[in-house]
Amino acid sequence: MGKLFSRRTFLMGSVGLAAYLLFEEFTLAVKKYNVIIPNLPREFEGFNILHISDLHSKWFGDKQEYLLETINEHKFDIVAITGDLVNKRDPKVEPGLSLIEGLRDKPIFFVPGNHEWWSGYTIKEPLEALGVNILENKSFKFSKENSHIWISGVDDPYLGKDDLYQSLSQVDDNEPNILLAHAPNIFDKASMLKIPLVLVGHTHGGQIRLPFIGAIVAPGQGLFPKYDYGLFNSENTNMIINGGLGESVLPIRFNIRSEIVFVSLTSGTSA
C-alpha cells in the first residue's frame, strides 16, 4: 500500500510539475514600468514603449495570435525589440516576421542579438522590407509635435559588435535618449555617459529563478548573475532587463514566465 501511495504521489507530482512548466513557458506575463526622465519634453509625458526581446523563433498561436491579442490589450506608442527574434538551432524567421506584421501600425525599432549573427542574420532584409528601423550603432531622432527624443541602438554587445560612441555620434543635442541593446553588458558604459534609459534582454531572466535568490545562471555572466532580470538603477541610468518570450538551450522556464514589457516615461513633475 505504501509503495502504491508513493507511486501515485510521484505521478501526481510529475504531472503537476509538467503542467506548471508548460504554464510558465506558454502563457504571457505583462510587466509595466514607470521611468522618470528628468528633462523629458512635455509632449512625451506618458509616452509608452512596448519592449519585446528574445522570441527565439517561438510561436504563440497561429500567426502569433495569442501574443498579438495580449499586446493589443494595452496602449503603446512605439515598439522596441532588443534582439534574438530567431534561434540559431532552428532559425525560422516566420515567427518573428508574423509578430512584426501584426505591429506595423506603430514605429518599430530593432537591434540584433547574438542569435541573429550566429544564424547568418537572414532576417535583416525582411525586417527592413517591413519598415523596421534597424539601429546597428545608429541613433534615430523621434519627433512629436515640436519636441523630440533620441532612440539609439547598438549592435550585439555579447559578440563585441557594439559601438556606443558611434551610435551617439549622431546625437546632436541634450534631449533624452533611450538606448536599445541586446545584452546588459552595456550598463556601466551607458551610466558613465548618463543615458537615462537602457532596454535590454539576452538573460531570459535566467529561465530558472529561485525564490528570494533569482537566476541561477545567465549567459555571459555565469552563476548567480548580477544583472539577471528587472529594473536596475545607477545615479544617472535606469536599465530594464526583459525576461524574454522564448527560451535558449532548454525549453524550460521556472518562476519566470514569458513576458512582454511596457515602459511609460514621465518627467516626475506634476502638471
Q: What are the tens digits of pLDDT across the range 130-167?
A: 999 999 999 999 999 999 999 999 999 988 999 999 99
With CA atoms as reference, report the closest residue to 202 among 161, 247, 165: 247
Count other Cβ atoms within 10 Å, centred on residue 47: 21
Separation between Cα atoms, residue 260 and residue 103, nearest integer Å: 14
pLDDT in tens, 79-117: 999 999 999 998 999 999 999 999 999 999 999 999 999
**Alpha carbon 89 to chain centroid distance?**
20
pLDDT attached to residue 151: 98
Instruction: Give the pLDDT score at 61.
Output: 95
The residues of the chain scoring below 70 in pLDDT are: 1-26, 270-271
Q: Which of helix, strand or coil describes residue 191?
A: helix
| pLDDT on residue 158 | 85
Q: What is the pLDDT of residue 24?
A: 52
SS3 240: strand
Could you give the domains of the chain?
2-266 (3.60.21.10)
Contact assessment for residue 196 and residue 177, using Cβ atoms and an 8 Å cutoff? yes
pTM, to two decimals: 0.91
> Which are the contacts of 207, defined by CB distance < 8 A and separation ≥ 6?
215, 247, 248, 250, 252, 253, 254, 256
